[in-house]
Structure 1
């Protein structure tokens, strides 16, 4: 009696919670399983829960049903490919919440209120856990009438998870003492290659704990066969599996699980599935003509993937607790910067995207730990410097020590004798077809790709000021925040080369390309400011290493340059910063590079400049629905990340709040079907490019 009463209370609490929650944030896409460049799964139809997609739009079959008293309801995926009268009724999605680690949904399935928790762990302080390319799906339910019902659950993934090219796949179902899992792989995997952004050399996994009960079943079969079996009986049987390997489009293979609860009014604990996409080795790394392969960081603790799966599945409760703690910390930090939930909403998307772009690799033969970023949303470049710079604040906030492993490959590649440019490279691996940077990246593919192969640094003379400034700023920010000057000492000569380049080129940058528009121009005020800040950063680096003469030299140059810059860059009434020297006073730019001055706590600029641009931007905001464009010459191009950087540097909390609210309006506008993009049209909120990018929106958490 007490047990039944407890279950009934749980049912009432679940119904009450569902009724009380009012959704205010409607992102165009919600992250479901976003943990690496190749486990990057989103839901673009959060009100109906259609089939999820890979970040670039390729459909990934992921299906979920609940069977209640013989009636089947669909809570994930679609069954439009079913014929005749066989099919499931779509659940009513009543609420969706996105946090930095979770997407939580309430759906109504007849007399059952179902809670779905898609958990992609972010483990910045545990690199073994962070490197495991798996995510959780947890399902709970409670009856809305307090009565018991006959309930079964079903979920599967399809072979689409291993290829967008619909190639032939192989699979197996495996059982250990604690878990059962499906594994799917291409019949002919291609090492370190991609097809339509999906890797061609990995294995997809779907797993669950055998602790889910003796009524758990699993089966591999054609999708319609598995669906009809579950509709009819509520159970699957591995003895009926179809193990005929075939092409993905031939009788679409799915890999399914079922759980029969019998007559219950609520779950006592969630049913948990783990989904993953693993590659080992994960990076091909070339340095000084020597090519090696780097394994995922989790290989330092686990000798095989089965051990990884067992550990991951069994860790759900602890992983959930850690996720809730991280979510709470980010939420509180966001509240310290901007009141309300809007800033936190955007950080929830951006944090997931920043960590979902990374591969963490184990120490190589030299003992060095290297992390790699894919330029998701723009290209296949490896460790793109401007994207790393854009995502820097979130890595500094979560664990500044991570930044060292992201910078190390860039530094050691350019410290090699084969790199002869006196400015910083823009990446360490570039696509062979630059035109891939396009507006609609859904199903386009470059003629050749780089990630996950590191081919070497890409020197671009028309980005010399941009990338040299970025690198000096990031190296100093890491050293200060992590209390670790090892990179400064090891690569001092290289850093000094870049600083000397800036001494020659920063004040009057000539023929430099914008990383936002690709326009080539001279005397960009924003770019010049970044270069001058980079020179001052070198002064601080020299000072940290006790190189006082160098410190004095670079500080003197930066001070001299900033005086000239103010005379050239400010409007005639000193109210705002011009796009380029000599522009009309009616022209203006979004001076996002001023944020680096705040990040590094420099004293080159006086407070009056910050106050002036704050007032000026406050007046401009009323003219735009979705935030300010990057400058008056590109009056429709908005940048989520540069808007957030600018907001972080403003002196007035009200203006900062207003700028972030305009950006939140875009993030919640649902005018696009793409994961939170970096670039958009400020006029109508439409998508331009940079979907799901690592540097999408990463304002300085805890600026105040």
Structure 2
């Protein structure tokens, strides 16, 4: 860029990237993603649009919880809603456990066939309080964690006009689930788990409801791990809508750090951009607690139009449940107008777990102080009525107030008068931020976010984000260009679009903090799985994106695992699985170990860091524990005992050929590290050991035209994605024929939407399959394996942040939304980078 080799052409938000010299164009992404990233700061502040059109639903947290953002453009007195639904929240008819415990009859013994009908006699069933599930799940009042549970919840309805309203069933389950309303089946899931799914009731289902005698009956079968059942009935608030007219969305595109939208709002065009400055080689930007929403408006007919823009949010961004009381402040600081909200209780780091939202710290909506802009706090009706009627916010004079959200809704609103828009564009931006006060607890010590090293307060961080707006936007534009260019050159346009769709999800599932001694820690949260913090077998599949773009961040993902063992807190001869449950990193909470999996992961990732850095200095700091782990794998890795691997959802498996492949790569990696550290005896010993193991592996795993799932299971197969490191890192341990045979078999075995993990199921994993595809020798074979994954992402009907575990037959995601493991999509980009580096 600096020498004129490349330049970036951005004629508008919708310009194209051009590489000077050969005029190679890298267009914006045309991939329709399952959910669009909007505000992505960390695992708690992660808001997405789950629909194709930004105005078709509320903006939601990755868990599905409403984190409402509403956007409206007022043109010549008419309002066009371009984002959100206008804060028309759901009101409970039958509360679920998020609001209060509920009572029902239940049994764990299979009942008679008509158990779901109103006439069934359930007097001998037990009585319990919902939610029902394992103790580590949210809101559980009645524990159940094995086998089956049948639940009957009877209720009456006081509202006489219920048949005229839009009703919604909201339910959560883990795992196989069915639910009936007054004898009609509404839900039948198969093996999945879901959290607070919103399902509209049709007219016949609503008609079945009566004043006195109603029944929801549910059955759930838990296959393994956590168990959960919760449900309720809800209706739309009957609030007058001042923003009923929708804009016409014309474009949407996702790049690594930015999501672009365009709309027609009557006679004007609105271009909207959501920017998360997650630039991996800039720690200040990466840790920033501030995201931007930028807007441009232009006339479509070259006539002048009077235009005002409006955004609003709610304190729901700062609570875990609606019964929590929040404070709201309206103030000015450093030429910025700020609205701030958070719970009164402020129980910092007081909750841990998976499907929860943060309820400590403060949410910020901020804009420039100017004569043309304003910010206000008030009721939805007062705010919306004023903007719709006059194009301004009401002068409420509220500087501070408090409300309980289950009793009263309140809006934090921003507006700007863009004046007469004709041929010249009018533009502006606002900022969304979050100060979590403390981010992670590490063995009893509360750690703060990295950004707090530079900024003493959130006001100072907002002031700097305002001061450097143009600089930060240019930095993100250039970074998007680089990442997309790297990906296109490595694997083509569709591959690059997958990388763009994965980038923010992979990074924002982490928190960058300063450790007890000021060291850098980058903690992952195992979203939508079990909520673990710093999970090694989540770090491992995500690692290509971090190894490719910043090995210091990669080290920050391993350092606390090294510290856990080296400090003596973790006493086992293999690596730990995690260091706790997010955000409490006080020691492993996962109930079980993955000895070969996690130990192999740590060795492989440490080797990859050394090869990218060009030295093994990092490995040298941890040589004693790396040696102990390598010796463990030398004894236990060739033919693993009955244990879990990263695909723990598939259960324990003995003699796992892919797990053995990981051990071989790890031992080979240790040999390479020893060579780089001038330890010739160890280098020779472990490199030759890895080569002997590879020959033995082939003998045991060979099954004709492919290799087995397990050594003792002829007629089976699985992806051997762990072997990709032999190619990527240039270890040269395997005979070439192993990868060639596997890839040839994958090409004829994959389904419409991708390659299954193994012969037992038709499940696929996005990250694993990209690794397997990267093993291909030819570009054509790589594309053949990538194309179905792109198709899955583009066509799935499951509207959640990218699910990495999905069904290859019909593109339904099974589980694991918003997880960092999608960073594994960058394996091909890492491979391309290292191949060029070795030349």
When the two structures are superposed, what TM-score results if normalisation uses the length of structure 2? Answer: 0.75
How much has 1:703 moved relative to structure 2?
A: 2.3
> Which residue, out of 770, 773, 777, partners 1:651?
777
Map residues 507-526 of structure 1 onto 2, 5 A cutoff.
507-516=638-647, 517-526=649-658
How much has 1:699 moved relative to structure 2?
A: 3.1
**C-alpha contact (below 8 Å) 2:329/2:401 kept by paired residues:** no
Map residues 411-422 of structure 1 onto 2, 5 A cutoff.
411-422=562-573
Name whichever of 52-61 and 200-209 sits farther off. 200-209
**C-alpha contact (below 8 Å) 2:576/2:593 kept by paired residues:** no
**C-alpha contact (below 8 Å) 1:614/1:652 kept by paired residues:** no
1:439: which partner in 2? none
2:546: which partner in 1? 395
> Which residue, out of 489, 494, 506, partners 1:354?
506
Output the CA distance in 1 between the equivalents of 2:378 and 2:689. Answer: 69
1:577: which partner in 2? 707
> Which residue, out of 287, 292, 298, partners 1:136?
292
How much has 1:168 moved relative to structure 2?
A: 0.6
Superposed CA deviations along residues 306-342 of structure 1, whole A, max 9, x for unmatched, are: 1101111232221221111111112111112223x21
1:204: which partner in 2? 363
1:410: which partner in 2? 561
Distance 1:188-1:62 versus aligned 2 partners, 3 A rule: same
2:578: which partner in 1? 427
> Does residue 163 of the first structure (1) align with residue 319 of the second (2)?
yes
Map residues 606-685 of structure 1 onto 2, 5 A cutoff.
606-621=735-750, 624-634=751-761, 636-685=762-811
What secondary structure sits across from 1:668 in the alignment? helix
**C-alpha contact (below 8 Å) 1:217/1:237 kept by paired residues:** no
Map residues 305-320 of structure 1 onto 2, 5 A cutoff.
305-320=458-473
> Does residue 60 of the first structure (1) align with residue 67 of the second (2)?
yes
Uncovered stretches (5+) of structure 1, i.e. residues with no partner: 1-11, 430-449
1:476: which partner in 2? 607
> Does residue 183 of the first structure (1) align with residue 340 of the second (2)?
yes
What secondary structure sits across from 2:599 in the alignment? helix
Distance 1:424-1:399 versus aligned 2 partners, 3 A rule: same
> Does residue 150 of the first structure (1) align with residue 306 of the second (2)?
yes
Output the CA distance in 1 between the equivalents of 2:363 and 2:570. Answer: 38
**Of Structure 1 and Structure 2, which has the larger fraction of its residues in helix?**
1
Map residues 229-268 of structure 1 onto 2, 5 A cutoff.
229-241=386-398, 243-265=400-422, 268=425
> Which residue, out of 562, 575, 581, partners 2:694?
562
How much has 1:157 moved relative to structure 2?
A: 0.9
1:42: which partner in 2? 48
Output the CA distance in 2 between the equivalents of 1:462 and 1:257. Answer: 50
Name whichever of 480-489 and 524-533 sits farther off. 480-489
Name whichever of 590-599 and 457-466 sits farther off. 457-466
1:343: which partner in 2? 495
How much has 1:86 moved relative to structure 2?
A: 3.5
Superposed CA deviations along residues 24-81 of structure 1, whole A, max 9, x for unmatched, are: 4211110001121111110011324221100010011111111111111111111345
Distance 1:665-1:374 versus aligned 2 partners, 3 A rule: same
Output the CA distance in 1 between the equivalents of 2:325 and 2:380. Answer: 16
Output the CA distance in 2 between the equivalents of 1:178 and 1:617. Answer: 59
What secondary structure sits across from 2:801 in the alignment? coil
Distance 1:465-1:618 versus aligned 2 partners, 3 A rule: same
**C-alpha contact (below 8 Å) 2:674/2:680 kept by paired residues:** yes
1:4: which partner in 2? none
How much has 1:258 moved relative to structure 2?
A: 0.9
Map residues 586-601 of structure 1 onto 2, 5 A cutoff.
587-601=716-730
What secondary structure sits across from 2:74 in the alignment? strand
Superposed CA deviations along residues 648-678 of structure 1, whole A, max 9, x for unmatched, are: 1111211110111100001111410111011
What secondary structure sits across from 1:396 in the alignment? helix
2:81: which partner in 1? 74
Name whichever of 533-542 and 639-648 sits farther off. 533-542
2:660: which partner in 1? 528
What secondary structure sits across from 1:156 in the alignment? strand
> Which residue, out of 209, 217, 224, partners 2:381?
224
**C-alpha contact (below 8 Å) 2:796/2:812 kept by paired residues:** no
How much has 1:508 moved relative to structure 2?
A: 0.9
**C-alpha contact (below 8 Å) 2:541/2:767 kept by paired residues:** yes
> Does residue 488 of the first structure (1) align with residue 619 of the second (2)?
yes
What secondary structure sits across from 1:172 in the alignment? strand
Map residues 538-553 of structure 1 onto 2, 5 A cutoff.
538-553=670-685
> Does residue 693 of the first structure (1) align with residue 819 of the second (2)?
yes
Q: CA RMSD in A?
A: 2.1
Distance 1:647-1:22 versus aligned 2 partners, 3 A rule: closer
Superposed CA deviations along residues 260-285 of structure 1, whole A, max 9, x for unmatched, are: 12222266452111112221221111
**C-alpha contact (below 8 Å) 1:381/1:428 kept by paired residues:** yes
How much has 1:149 moved relative to structure 2?
A: 0.6
Output the CA distance in 2 between the equivalents of 1:633 and 1:670. Answer: 22
Superposed CA deviations along residues 230-254 of structure 1, whole A, max 9, x for unmatched, are: 0111112454438431112333111
Output the CA distance in 2 between the equivalents of 1:662 and 1:699. Answer: 17
Distance 1:60-1:462 versus aligned 2 partners, 3 A rule: closer
**C-alpha contact (below 8 Å) 2:806/2:814 kept by paired residues:** yes
How much has 1:478 moved relative to structure 2?
A: 1.2
> Does residue 29 of the first structure (1) align with residue 29 of the second (2)?
no
**Of Structure 1 and Structure 2, which has the larger fraction of its residues in strand?**
2
**C-alpha contact (below 8 Å) 1:385/1:426 kept by paired residues:** yes
Superposed CA deviations along residues 339-373 of structure 1, whole A, max 9, x for unmatched, are: 3x211111112111111012111253x34222211
Name whichever of 151-160 and 196-205 sits farther off. 196-205
- Give the structure, 1 or 2, with the largest relative contact order (CA under 8 Å, sep 6 or more): 1
1:440: which partner in 2? none
> Which residue, out of 365, 373, 381, partners 2:524?
373
Superposed CA deviations along residues 159-178 of structure 1, whole A, max 9, x for unmatched, are: 11011301110021221232
> Does residue 323 of the first structure (1) align with residue 476 of the second (2)?
yes
Name whichever of 549-558 and 167-176 sits farther off. 549-558
1:5: which partner in 2? none
Distance 1:219-1:367 versus aligned 2 partners, 3 A rule: closer
Uncovered stretches (5+) of structure 2, i.e. residues with no partner: 1-10, 17-26, 89-236, 833-839
Name whichever of 217-226 and 551-560 sits farther off. 551-560
**C-alpha contact (below 8 Å) 1:33/1:41 kept by paired residues:** yes
What secondary structure sits across from 1:249 in the alignment? coil
Output the CA distance in 2 between the equivalents of 1:497 and 1:460. Answer: 23
Output the CA distance in 2 between the equivalents of 1:524 and 1:683. Answer: 25
How much has 1:530 moved relative to structure 2?
A: 0.3
